[in-house]
A and B are shown apart, each in its own frame.
Chain A
């Protein structure tokens, strides 16, 4: 009997089994046939192992990068990339993450059912990444066991409801109704861009929008994330390798006992390896979520028919295609402009990543444009670019040992909610986190009781 129990405990403790079990529950709830159920469960199981394999590849590229950066610039260099940090963290926090995600999604459905916060957050990979971040933060604060899952799930559910909620007034400007929301954890940055657009618009009836100007489309190839990551990482690795000089590669060869050869060739290969690792991680995430997201969507549609689905950021790109590219460039410039200030203040250096600046910058551009036109797109995206450059630095100290992983979370909401709960925990321990949650839920309940019906927005969209 003891042997049987310990096998059960091992199953629950092995994250690959646990996520497969969650997928199995989802498939059974949807009453899928036996072949689909077996297929889906196995794919989820394998997906988790693919993810872990990708983590190894990414880490093998990041470790020498950290050393090279230190040797060249005498300061910590950080590559913000959600996939990389998630894959690194999942090895230690897999089980906690899976449980926080499962119960967090339930909390999100409950909030949508019983309060005036009607969004159901359907961007599964961001739910997953946020679950990882919360698992890390709350473990560092000292939570464990049932309490860890409970605070994690309550925090995740609230964030899933709040992030799209704050953006809805801008979504309404763009889409003309409340049929869809934006579910992307760059949300705070889009809110910022929208608010800047609003301020720039002032009382003006009409403003010049991004779609009134001609803009070259030649940057569209960067939407291919593998190309974008490989390209930027090559530039970054080359600069860092040249700064560190050939000496670093030689000493690395000596200490590890494997000859890495010419340092330039080596650094370019490492850059490619980083992109390869992310590619593998993405494939793993895709397999893990293949059954869980449709199950979540199906269940939420059945239980809360009047919920607003919160969807991934590209849904807003058609509203202002030029703002997408202008926002990316502007946000990326924000990231580059931030770097000298990090040097000046003696902070770790956050390398501007093309992926976060493209997707989050683009979305910020669209939000800025929706109220403030061209100026709103440029300045709104620029502000979000600066924000996602400095926020990861403030997040790193609350991530425990993961703060030294040479990579970190890149998007606005991960960093802001992470800093919020992390600082509460750091200064007031577990009590601080609980107080934070009580305040958040108290505010949400108060809003639901006081708010009559959503106020119609008078502002006309500036872009068709």
Chain B
């Protein structure tokens, strides 16, 4: 499966979320999941199975695909909970 983190320009904060997701996946011992980052315009169905988006961007965004909304992009505990939930949803845990 593939997770894509999204931010306005697709360079900085989405990259940060990507690296944090990868770190959490490693801690959980889950492998084989592709994590990428991109800008809002690239967030379209088919680009990934699930999109991670910060709350302020999610308000102006509509993608016809599963979307995980983050209240804070620097809160590792929130992210860990949501990654675990994603893994459950996709039957990987």
Contacts and interface: CB of A to CB of B under 8 A. Distances in A.
A285 interface: yes
B13 A226 contact: no
B58 to A, nearest CB: 9
A123 B13 CA distance: 8
A358 B10 CA distance: 15
A286 B41 CA distance: 14
A314 B15 CA distance: 12
Contact of A220 (B9, B16, B56): B56
A185 to B, nearest CB: 11
A225 B10 CA distance: 9
Given A224-B8, A297-B19, A315 B40 contact: no
A285 B73 CA distance: 22
Interface string B33-63: 0000111110000000000001111011000
B12 A318 contact: no
Given A217-B59, A223-B57, A225-B39, A315 B8 contact: no
Contacts of B57: 220, 223
Contacts of A224: 8, 39-41, 60
- Give the bracket for the number of chain A residues in contact with chain B: 35 or more
A180 interface: yes
Say what secondary structure dominates the interface of chain A: helix
Contacts of A311: 12-13, 16, 74
B37 A220 contact: no
Contacts of A315: 13, 16, 73-74
B38 to A, nearest CB: 7
Nearest to A83: B9
B8 to A, nearest CB: 4
A321 B55 CA distance: 10
A126 B9 CA distance: 12
Interface of A: 122-126, 179-180, 184, 217, 220-221, 223-227, 279, 282, 285-286, 289, 293-294, 297, 311-315, 317-318, 321, 324, 355, 358-359
Interface of B: 7-13, 15-16, 19, 22, 37-41, 54-57, 59-60, 71-74
The 10 closest A-B pairs by CB, nearest first: A312-B12, A220-B60, A224-B40, A223-B8, A314-B13, A125-B11, A226-B41, A221-B60, A312-B13, A225-B9
Given A317-B56, A318-B55, 10 more contacts: A125-B11, A217-B59, A217-B60, A279-B41, A312-B11, A312-B16, A314-B54, A318-B72, A321-B55, A355-B9
